Amino acid sequence: MCDTLVALKNWTKNGSVVFGKNSDREKDEPHVIIRAPRKKHSKGETVKCTYIEIPQAEETYECILFKPSWIYGAEMGVNEFGVVIGNEAVFTKERQGPSALLGMDILRLSLERSKTALEAVENIVYFIKAYGQGGKCGYTKNLRYHNSFIIADFNSAYKLETADKKWALKKIEDFDSISNSLSITDDYDMLSSDAEEEFIYKKIINRKNINFKKRYENKLIAKIASGDFRRNITYNFIKEKKGNLTVEDVFNILRHHTELDSKNLFNGSMKNICMHQKSIISSETTGSMVVELVDGQINIWATGSSLPCLSTYKPLWFIDSDVFFYEEDLEKAVEFWRSERKIIQQVEEGQINREEYVKNRDKFEKELLQRAALAKTDGEKREIMNIAWKIK
């Protein structure tokens, strides 16, 4: 289970677009950061996604991906043009088909092929229509679902929610958030039935709209997943920050707890934005990312570890640096995540003094934010990244 949010320029303190997402997966599932460079591809080349192969693009763009280690795709990511996407599991009345593209595959494919948010929307719609969604999404569990997405760039953002090959699209004007439930009702701009053979975004007016959420959502599973509950938390938090939202505010909401020590063994901890596996069915936050798009700069903050309430948000930029892992380094990336998770687990279990640890974390994070705000050159950014990610 996960949560994704975005605020546009008119809603933030410094006129940036700010995007945030937690990836909630199985507790022991490694969540790695992989940098995929820009590449040219031969005519007729294919790309092996998690379950199926599809034709490769002539060129794929550089991306920083935040992903479960075992799948091709990513839970969230950003590309060299500042296109950012996050996906959410949603549970619908539409039947699950055979293994096809996972929502995470669709997310990565769209980042690799899009220069704008709207182009990414077009690509997501194409992949859903051409290949469908399907396959086991769980690390060890046979979890299957459809997907919703928030897609943003320097100037715009969109919310796209799906039920198999059916979808609803809404342009985001100020801010929005999504979770593990459908949130588009009858307020969409376009439905899948509005699209011609070639997708062109247009706001359809003067028609009788259906309620997308009511028609397609599996209410029972959505209720168990507590998606509406958590979306209300993130949505109202951003709403109250009109014109003043900062990156630090997004760190805070992604660390939010409602019922950390809930005795509800069924789904109590699923009411936390920073999710801890303390119930029979709940997930745990295995990675967290915040992206700030401002003045042509792509500023990325990531934990690279589980439980943001105990992790440090550390900066990343699209510059040459030894902090990055590439796909050929997958085993090293998994080893890094597990080593970080071990420290977090020791704090959570009381082997490391929590109060002192969090105090030192907050001080270090504040220093990183201050230094990052002043960094102008690649050399200065590289030095900050080395300090943050402990590269000597």
Contacts 24+ apart (CB under 8 A), 276-285: 276/307, 276/348, 277/26, 277/27, 281/224, 282/1, 283/1, 283/24, 283/25, 283/26, 283/27, 284/24, 284/25, 284/26, 284/27, 285/22, 285/23, 285/24
The residue-averaged pLDDT of 254-281 equals 75
Closest CA to 84 of 173, 155, 166: 155
* pTM for this predicted structure: 0.95
Alpha-carbon dihedral sign for residues 320, 322, 328, 334: negative
Res 268: pLDDT: 55
* pLDDT higher than 80, residue 1: no
State the pLDDT confidence band at 384, using cuts at 50, 70 and 90: very high
Digit-coded pLDDT (tens) for 162-177: 999 999 999 999 999 9
The whole-chain average pLDDT of the chain stands at: 94
- Which residue's entry shows tokens 């494919």? 109
State the pLDDT confidence band at 106, using cuts at 50, 70 and 90: very high
Q: pLDDT over 90 for what percent of the chain?
A: 86
- Domains, the chain, ordered by start: 3-388 (3.60.60.10)
Active-site residues, by number, are 2
Res 269: pLDDT: 74
Res 280: pLDDT: 66
Digit-coded pLDDT (tens) for 140-165: 898 899 999 999 999 999 999 999 99
Could you tell me the end-to-end alpha-carbon distance of the chain, in angstroms, rounded to an integer? 36
Q: What is the helix (H) or strand (E) element at residue 285, kind and residue range? A: strand 284-294
Residue 143 is which amino acid?
L
The residue-averaged pLDDT of 62-89 equals 98
Digit-coded pLDDT (tens) for 345-354: 999 899 999 9
The residue-averaged pLDDT of 270-297 equals 89
State the pLDDT confidence band at 53, using cuts at 50, 70 and 90: very high
State the pLDDT confidence band at 283, using cuts at 50, 70 and 90: confident
Closest CA to 84 of 102, 100, 61, 101: 61
The residue-averaged pLDDT of 109-125 equals 98
